Amino acid sequence: MEIKIKNGKEYIFDIVRKKYVRKQPEEWVRQYMIQYLNREKGYPISLMSIEKEKKINTLKKRCDIVCNDKNGQPLLLVECKAKKIDLTSEVFNQTITYQNKIKAKYILITNGKKHYCFELKKNQVEFLKKIPKYQEIINVKK
């Protein structure tokens, strides 16, 4: 990952937003996941959105990463936390709240050390053993 220092602070290059952003613990995890999803799982950078804002009731919330298909339909919703944050039921519930608006096929929660990927089927949570590749999701969708 490309890092630069400006005024004594570290910045990391975000290849989705095409700009340097402040390197914070959660941002590091987000940038790592962007790279991982693209390089290892085949999710196109051009179909990712970062910190996508959604209105949930009266609150404006931002989803960390949303991977879409070529038609702009959400496939994978990713919630990133800093490495020191435990992936608790509170984090899970927060992500489900986002999911209720986004309606992605799959959900991924990560702190960079642990990852939980699951699919919602008829309001049932099905945990997956691995993060699906982009091509696998596209093939299932057809």
* CB contact at 8 A, 49 and 66: yes
* Residue 122: predicted pLDDT: 78
Tokens, residue 91: 């984090």
- CA nearest neighbour of 108 among 76, 69, 133: 76
pLDDT per residue of the chain (142 residues) written in tens, 0 to 9: 899 999 999 999 999 999 999 999 999 999 999 999 999 999 999 999 986 655 555 555 677 999 999 999 999 999 999 999 999 999 988 888 888 888 898 999 999 999 999 998 877 889 999 999 999 988 765 4
Third-level CATH fold of 43-141: tt1808, chain A (3.90.1570)
pLDDT in tens, 52-73: 655 555 555 677 999 999 999 9
Name the residue ranges covered by the structural domains of the chain: 43-141
